[in-house]
Amino acid sequence: MTSEWDFFHRARRGDDSAWRILTEKYQNRLTALVLMITESGAATDDIVQETFYKALTATVNNRRGTVSGYLGTIAYRLAVKESLRLRRLREISEIDFSDNGSNPLENMLVDERDRLVATAIRKLDDEHRDVLLLRFYGGNSYEEMAELLSVPLGTIKSRLFYAVRRCRKLLKDKGVI
């Protein structure tokens, strides 16, 4: 068991400092993953909170992966379930990627870039979008993604390659890169 898992288990046993550090380390990444899937800020907050609750109350049988991947897998599954529920309730234009930074011009540019990246990711088919989100927002390893999605490791690598290539092309066409 790695020190990362030791730290995780300290948080599970009620170590407040370990809990605080755990949430600080993983909350932003989980929030980004869930927001990209659900497109709902309100649902995102609930799902991230539920992810930590489930992670800290569930029995962990597999410690081969990373804590980041473990949390990302939980968040991914919860977000997909919620996304299916929300899919018919809103338009894509209602997504709010606001940033509470202090420079309005910089915030506007970051918001526009994030919006364009999110739009490019949403244009991918489900198989390619899922591996991209799990890898870059969920922090999952290739092996964890293969196990979660029940596909061979080579398929994961191929899907990720083509997802990045397609997003890069879409962003290049928009003048982002």
pLDDT at 159 over 90: yes
Spatial distance between the Cα atoms of 119 and 37, rounded to a whole number of angstroms: 12
Q: Is the pLDDT of residue 51 over 90?
A: yes
The rounded Cα 24 to chain-centroid distance in angstroms is: 15
Other CB atoms within a 10 A radius of the CB of residue 79 amount to 28
Amino acid sitting at position 43: A
Q: How far apart are CA 171 and CA 165, in angstroms?
A: 10
Residue carrying the six token digits 């209602």: 94
pLDDT at 46 over 70: yes
Whole-angstrom Cα distance, residue 124 to residue 128?
A: 6
Residue 131, pLDDT above cutoff 80: yes
Query: For the domain that residue 43 is a member of, what is the CATH number?
Result: 1.10.10.10
Determine which of 23-37, 51-65, 70-84, 141-155 has the lowest per-residue pLDDT on average. Answer: 51-65
Is 166 within 8 Å of 141 (Cβ atoms)?
Answer: no
d(CA 168, CA 163): 8
pTM above 0.95, yes or no: no
Q: pLDDT tens digits for 79-92? A: 998 888 776 555 44
What is the tens place of the pLDDT at every residue in 109-130? 677 777 888 888 889 998 999 9
Segments forming the whole domain that contains residue 128: 3-173
- The domain tally of the chain equals 1
